[in-house]
């Protein structure tokens, strides 16, 4: 049995649960809200505050955990970074009042900075030989300058709109963050085997992300031109049709270049183009 710690509610919750579900981990909804076992896979899920996940994994209360990189680095917990999961992306940045002139990191010398990430910030300022006072608060950091509690803030930013509405501007990105899968340093062989299977499933899900399966009919005399347009996994599958002047072509395309590719295919004489979502991809 592998115990996975996940955030009980908040910004990581939805995508974490979706990822687990796509990996075939269906939870037995029971009365015990803190700990749920999965159906058909030897995993149980422990719901915690994100702040507690790195430590729980380090001390073995949980075997693995899904947590933001910001929390993992801040807590300095002795747990292995096993996989970057690519969601809940944000950055930890220094921000100052919008009308201040900013010439560089020296601006912060002697200033008071409000933050919930004192470890990461202290380390960053020390390396740049800047001495500042930290005001440690756990929520609503962005209002601190406006109410005179601090000169600046060091906090998570994603769209930047919270900064704008508090008349602040981002002046230095200290680190980027995304959700991580972290693991205890001393997993038993049995737990490691379950984790390996889980990683295999996560990779299949990630590989399929942003990819579509395309099926189309191509006139044989245009086949080479059409194959050139389709960047398949290896090469496209080609099957004959009842009309021997035509063939069916199947391949995988990325969403990024989707409309561009479809436009070129049509212009090259492809017909009956079908686009199908891909759920998992084992490469
Ligand atoms: O209750 P618990 O302790 O579990 O949750 P929490 O309140 O500490 O964390 P939560 O749910 O807010 O965030 C969980 C994780 O999501 C964070 O640790 C980050 O790894 C990640 N994440 C991604 C974010 C953001 N984006 C984000 N934008 N966490 C917080 N924010 C906040 C930020 O602090 C600021 O207040 O959103 C605001 C900024 O957003 P923008 O879009 O206006 O820039
Ligand atoms: Zn938290």
Domain shared by 83 and 94, yes or no: no
The H or E element spanning position 104 is none
Q: Which residue's C-alpha comes closest to atom 42 of ligand 1?
A: 159
Q: Both 109 and 69 in a single domain?
A: no
- Structural domain of 146: 90-176
Judge whether 282 lies within some domain: no
| Ligand 1 binding pocket mutation candidate from 8, 11, 70, 72 (most atoms within 8 A of CB) | 11
Q: Which tokens go with 144?
A: 């601190």
Final residue belonging to a domain, choices 132, 158, 176 = 176
- Asked, for residue 69, whether it belongs to a domain, the answer is yes
Partners of 179 in the β-ladder? 68
Q: Which of 200, 178, 190, 187 is nearest to 24 (CA)?
A: 200
283 within some domain: no
Does residue 133 lie in a domain region?
A: yes
Of the residues 176, 194, 224, the one at which a domain ends? 176
CB-CB contact of 139 with 149 (8 Å): no
Residues 83, 183, single domain; the answer is: yes
Q: How far is the CA of 141 from the centre of ligand 2 (A)?
A: 13
Q: Which of 192, 207, 222 is the last residue of a domain?
A: 207
- State the Cα–Cα distance between residues 198 and 214, nearest whole angstrom: 28
| Residue 44 near ligand 1, beta carbon < 6 Å | no
Same domain, 77 and 155: no
Ligand 1 neighbourhood includes 123 CB (under 6 angstroms): no
On whether the CB atoms of residues 252 and 214 are closer than 8 A, the answer is yes
Helix axes 189-208, 13-22, angle to 10 degrees: 100
* Same domain for 84 and 8: yes
Same domain, 234 and 254: yes
65 with 16, same domain? yes
Q: Number of folded domains in the chain? A: 3
Is 169 within the bounds of a domain?
yes
CA distance 230 to 238: 12
Question: Can you give the CATH number for the domain in which 113 is found?
Answer: 3.40.190.10
SS (H, E, C) 32-96: CCCEEEEECCCEEEEEECHHHHHHHHHCCCCCEEEEEHHHHHHHCCCEEEEEECCCCCEEEEEEE
Counting Cα atoms < 13 Å in the Cβ hemisphere of 215 gives: 10
The answer on 42 and 97 residing in a single domain is no
Centre of ligand 1 to C-alpha 90, Å, is: 8
Q: Is 116 in the pocket of ligand 1 (CB under 6 A)?
A: no
- DSSP string over 158-177: SSSHHHHHTTEEEEEEEEEE
Question: Is any ligand 1 atom within 6 A of the Cβ of residue 7?
Answer: yes
Which of 93, 94, 51 has the alpha carbon at shortest distance from 71?
A: 51
Same domain, 69 and 196: yes
Whether residue 148 is found in the same domain as residue 40: no
Confidence at residue 70, expressed as pLDDT on a 0 to 100 scale:
98
Tell me, using a 6 A CB cutoff, whether residue 237 lines ligand 1.
Answer: no
Asked if 104 and 127 sit in the same domain, the reply is: yes
Question: Does 78 lie in the same domain as 16?
Answer: yes
pLDDT of the chain along its 283 residues, tens only?
Answer: 999 999 999 999 999 999 999 999 998 776 657 999 998 899 999 999 999 999 999 999 999 999 999 999 999 999 999 999 999 999 999 999 999 999 999 999 999 999 999 999 999 999 999 999 999 999 999 999 999 999 999 999 999 999 999 999 999 999 999 999 999 999 999 999 999 999 999 999 999 988 999 999 999 999 999 999 987 667 789 999 999 999 999 999 988 888 889 999 999 999 999 999 999 998 7
Ligand 1 atom closest to residue 155's alpha carbon, by position in its atom list:
34
Tell me the β-bridge partners of 261: none
**How far is ligand 1, taken at its centre, from the CA of residue 172, in Å?**
18
| Residue 74, in any domain of the structure | yes
């Amino acid at each position: 049995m592998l115990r996975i710690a996940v955030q009980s509610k908040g910004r990581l919750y939805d995508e974490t649960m979706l990822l687990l579900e796509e990996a075939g981990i269906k939870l037995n909804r029971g009365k015990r809200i803190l700990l749920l076992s999965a159906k058909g896979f030897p995993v149980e899920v422990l719901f915690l505050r994100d702040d507690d996940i790195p430590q729980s994994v380090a001390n073995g209360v949980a075997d693995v955990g899904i947590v933001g990189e910001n929390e993992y680095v801040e807590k300095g917990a002795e747990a292995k970074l096993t996989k970057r999961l690519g969601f809940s992306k944000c950055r930890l940045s220094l921000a100052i009042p919008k009308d201040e002139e900013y010439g560089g990191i020296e601006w912060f010398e002697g200033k008071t900075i409000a933050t919930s990430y004192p470890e990461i910030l202290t380390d960053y300022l020390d390396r740049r030989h800047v001495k500042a006072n930290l005001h440690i608060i756990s929520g609503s950091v962005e209002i601190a300058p406006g109410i005179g509690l601090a000169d600046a803030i060091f906090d998570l930013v994603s769209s930047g709109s919270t900064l704008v509405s508090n008349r602040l501007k981002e002046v230095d990105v200290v680190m980027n963050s995304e959700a991580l899968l972290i693991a205890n340093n001393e997993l038993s062989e049995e737990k490691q085997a379950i984790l390996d299977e889980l990683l295999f499933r996560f990779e299949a899900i990630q590989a399929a992300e942003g990819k579509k399966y395309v099926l189309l009919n191509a006139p044989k005399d245009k086949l080479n031109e059409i194959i050139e347009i389709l960047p398949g996994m290896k090469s496209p599958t080609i099957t004959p049709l009842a009309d021997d002047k035509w063939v069916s072509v199947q391949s995988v395309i990325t969403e990024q270049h989707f409309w561009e590719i479809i436009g070129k295919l049509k212009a090259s004489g492809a017909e009956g183009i079908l686009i199908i979502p891909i759920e998992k991809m084992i490469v």
